[in-house]
Amino acid sequence: MSRRSGVLEFAVLGLLRESPMHGYELRKRLNTSLGVFRAFSYGTLYPCLKGLVANGWLVEETGGAPDGVPATALTGRRAKIVYRLTAAGKDHFEELLTHSGPDAWEDEHFGVRFAFFGQTSRDVRMRVLEGRRSRLEERLEKMRTSLARTRERLDDYTLELQRHGMESVEREVRWLNELIESERAGRDQRAPGPTERDKNTPSGDADGLPRHRGGSRPDPSE
Amino acid sequence: MSRRSGVLEFAVLGLLRESPMHGYELRKRLNTSLGVFRAFSYGTLYPCLKGLVANGWLVEETGGAPDGVPATALTGRRAKIVYRLTAAGKDHFEELLTHSGPDAWEDEHFGVRFAFFGQTSRDVRMRVLEGRRSRLEERLEKMRTSLARTRERLDDYTLELQRHGMESVEREVRWLNELIESERAGRDQRAPGPTERDKNTPSGDADGLPRHRGGSRPDPSE
DNA sequence: GTTTTCATGTAACCCGTTACATGATTCA
DNA sequence: TGAATCATGTAACGGGTTACATGAAAAC
């Protein structure tokens, strides 16, 4: 029943975990914060929200606030329908975060996953990063052999395209290497057990991300 | 009537322009030569082929060859249905090649376009490359402003994701710059007028592609 | 002789967009 | 007051995949 998108569902739950929002605003956040990769339209978002409500992950807070107080008072501007994550929704999201099946490292999913790394434990992050990396290395392998078999029959442009494609993948692998390395060296563990705790620490800058200096040291891998 | 995919149609016509093929083989070529980016399934390909036949761009050559010669004799192995580009199909493809509307530089289309650059005139190539570039620069602009507005509210991971995304785009822009430059310097013009002529010159290596030496000079931009 | 690979197809579904309809609120 | 932006929705379509059904040729 209703659209169960996977990425969209995940992203919506993740964003609403931080704070309640109405659809319109949600969509903007989706298309900026996360939206370097994905852009959703209302035609996708609204039905999805309905579905999540039907599942009990979200509640709508229309017009009247809990005690009949007009919502106007809350924001200074009338918010039509504000969606708030329920306890069940929170649990569900935690579940999704830690469960991370093997499609967590596919192209469509990985970006969103990564965007919510801040709410995950390090082991999960490592699993996802390493999964992604081996996925890409697999792909590289295929590209290489396929290229070796067909190199002669291809014209310069096709070849150049192929080359650029492979280089892109290689570049992402190097990126992942840096990330994995700095996770490994990272001095904070953050919740080895999955659920709950560590409420709303605005995340300071607790994690050991590469903190990109200049960029491109001479590429240690290879 | 039937699926009109755009990219798939284009790719199929382009591949069949080189030589007739049956569906199965066609699909493999799609997923190797061009398939670094796209991968199609039979469920997409076969209906599309039917459609192209219905349009008169292709003809099916089943069992009996033109004069009743069993196709077995041709390949040593019985080819079920071989698709061949008609004259009308050829024209249509040329049309698509030169017409190149503004979606030729969108993500999904650009790759395939590029793959068939070998069959295009230089002006078209320039148009597409420059179109793509300005499309990407546009996108970069948006990313930059959006980032500037929201930088503070984002945690480290989201930020890193954004940074990596932008860098990817910047990288493609640099790639396009190289390509454009070498097109500009290229010593062959190849059909300044659009349609027809230059039948089947197997394309040797007439064009002045970057001919990538080693790779990665220390990154002059920035 | 059985398993792989080649080869063609279809129906059901999935995820998403476009175009449209509707109306409230803000701002010039 | 009228235009822009905020805000919510839906129906129709688009492009694609999955899973399935079918069968011939090759390889073991």
Task: Give per-residue pLDDT as tens, A161-210.
Answer: 999 999 999 999 999 999 999 999 975 555 443 334 344 444 444 455 66
Dist. CA B130–CA B222, nearest whole Å: 21
The residues, any chain, with a CB within 8 Å of residue B6's CB and separated by 6 or more, are B103, B108, B109
User: How far is residue B74 from each of residues B59, B64, B69, B84, measured CA to CA in Å?
Assistant: 18, 11, 9, 15
As a whole number of Å, the end-to-end CA separation of chain A is: 49
Token pair of A110 as six digits:
């990985």
Q: Which of B18-32, B87-101, B181-195 has the lowest mean pLDDT?
A: B181-195
Question: Using the 8-state DSSP alphabet, how is residue B70 labeled?
Answer: B
Nearest nucleotide, CA B24 to C1': C7
User: Does the pLDDT at position B145 exceed 90?
Assistant: no
pLDDT at residue number A79: 55
Q: Is the CB of A22 under 7 A from strand D?
A: yes
pLDDT at residue number B31: 84
For every residue of A173-214, DSSP letters joined together read HHHHHHHHHHHHH-S----SS-SS-STT---TT-S------S
User: HSE-up of A125 (CA within 13 Å, CB side)?
Assistant: 27
Nearest nucleotide, CA B44 to C1': D16
Number of Cβ pairs closer than 8 Å across A and B?
A: 85
Which residues of chain B (36-95) touch nucleic strand D at CB < 7 A?
Answer: 39-44, 76-78
User: Does the pLDDT at position B196 exceed 90?
Assistant: no
Dist. CA A180–CA A210, nearest whole Å: 10
Dist. CA A123–CA A191, nearest whole Å: 10
User: Does the pLDDT at position B74 exceed 90?
Assistant: no
| B155 interface with A at CB cutoff 8 Å | yes
Tell me which of B72 and A97 has the higher pLDDT.
A97
Contact between residue B163 and residue A212 where contact means Cβ atoms under 8 Å apart = yes
Query: Where do we find the tokens 């959006």?
Result: B146
Positive or negative torsion for Cα B209, B210, B212, B216: negative
Token pair of A17 as six digits:
């975990």
Nearest nucleotide, CA A43 to C1': C17
Out of B34, B165, B207, whose CB is closest to A156? B207
The residues, any chain, with a CB within 8 Å of residue A69's CB and separated by 6 or more, are none
B188-215 burial: b if 16+ Cβ within 10 Å, else e: eebbeeeeeeeeeeebeeebbbeeeeee
CA distance B118 to chain A (A): 6
As a whole number of Å, the end-to-end CA separation of chain B is: 51
Q: B205–A34: do the CB atoms touch at under 8 Å? A: no
